[in-house]
């Protein structure tokens, strides 16, 4: 038995998310269909982190097991990409390689970094459609950075998770949050071992309220203490979110 690891990039705009669903095309389904054509058998993918509809990935990781095959595993991604292209997918397999049998794409991960991109100017960009959150408002990046530091560390993030989140506990640890603006693009990176459903997007929506001057920095502590989703900011649009990198 061989355990194969895939490094995956995708534009999630036209998909219902990573997970296979009945109501539309998923990233998982499209890749598994390709693997079934190549190996002539049903293949199940195990992923590092599920992404929602419209969310993108620069470095998603998934693995699967197959019996010993004559296929050159280090060239497998080329074969998958050929099939994906024929089906008009916006998915690219960047790498395929054999892993240790103890490796697990989700449970072996030590840290994940999500990138959230904001287009902060007065006019829209058709070139960046569905790839950023367009915000024409004036934002105080310094206050946003100062507020984000209050979220770093181990906290109860119940106010920062979707009402549909099924995690047993809302205790999570954020290792780092960084913000950088280059020309009209604001990049917000959030790193941690694991995240609640919509946690990063709610964090971004909350920090935007600080940047607009609607809230001061103290509001972050109040939101955390409340443990109430209604107290936090809006859930930022999925189009600006990227699963950037998984660290093992």
Quick one: tokens of 75? Answer: 């060239």
Measured from the Cβ of residue 37, the count of other Cβ atoms closer than 10 Å reads 12
Q: How confident is the model at residue 67 (pLDDT cuts 50, 70, 90)?
A: confident
Could you give the count of Cα atoms lying within 13 Å of 112 in the half-sphere of its Cβ? 26
pLDDT digit string, tens, across residues 125-156: 999 999 999 999 999 999 999 999 999 999 99
Q: Examine the domain organization and report whether 164 and 232 are in the same domain.
A: yes
For the entire predicted model, the pTM comes to: 0.95
* CATH, residue 169: 3.30.70.660
Catalytic residue among 52, 68, 82, 187: 52
Q: Check if 187 is active-site.
A: no
Domain residue limits at 77: 2-99
Q: Specify if 27 maps to a domain.
A: yes
Domain count, the chain: 2
Q: CB of 17 within 8 A of CB of 29?
A: no
Alpha-carbon gap, residue 112 to 241, rounded angstroms = 13
Report the candidate in 35, 84, 88, 82 with the shortest Cα–Cα distance to residue 62. 35
Q: Examine the domain organization and report whether 27 and 133 are in the same domain.
A: no
Q: Examine the domain organization and report whether 12 and 59 are in the same domain.
A: yes
In our burial notation (b when 16+ CB lie closer than 10 A, e otherwise), range 60-87 reads: bbbbbebeeeeeeeeebbebbbebbeee
């Amino acid at each position: 038995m061989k355990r194969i690891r895939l490094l995956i990039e995708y534009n999630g705009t036209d998909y219902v998310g990573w997970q296979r669903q009945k109501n539309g095309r998923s990233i998982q389904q499209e890749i598994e269909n390709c693997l079934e054509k190549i190996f002539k058998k049903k293949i199940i993918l195990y992923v590092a982190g599920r992404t929602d509809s419209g969310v993108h990935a620069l470095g998603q990781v998934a693995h699967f097991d197959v019996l010993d095959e004559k296929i050159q595993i280090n060239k497998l991604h080329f074969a998958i990409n050929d099939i994906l292209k024929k089906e008009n997918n916006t998915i690219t397999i960047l790498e395929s390689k054999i892993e240790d049998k103890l490796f697990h794409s989700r449970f072996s991960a030590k840290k994940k970094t999500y990138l959230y991109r904001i287009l902060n100017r007065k006019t829209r960009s058709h070139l960046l459609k569905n790839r950023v959150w367009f915000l024409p408002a004036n934002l105080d990046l310094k206050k946003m950075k100062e507020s984000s530091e209050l979220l770093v560390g181990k906290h109860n993030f119940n106010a920062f998770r979707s009402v549909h989140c099924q995690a047993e506990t809302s205790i999570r640890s954020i290792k780092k949050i960084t913000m950088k603006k280059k020309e009209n693009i604001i990049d917000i990176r959030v790193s941690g071992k694991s995240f609640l459903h919509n946690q990063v997007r709610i964090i971004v929506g909350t920090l935007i309220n600080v940047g607009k001057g609607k809230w001061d920095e103290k509001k972050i502590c109040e939101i955390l203490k409340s443990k109430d989703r209604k107290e936090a900011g809006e859930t930022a649009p999925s189009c600006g979110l990227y699963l950037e990198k998984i660290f093992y």
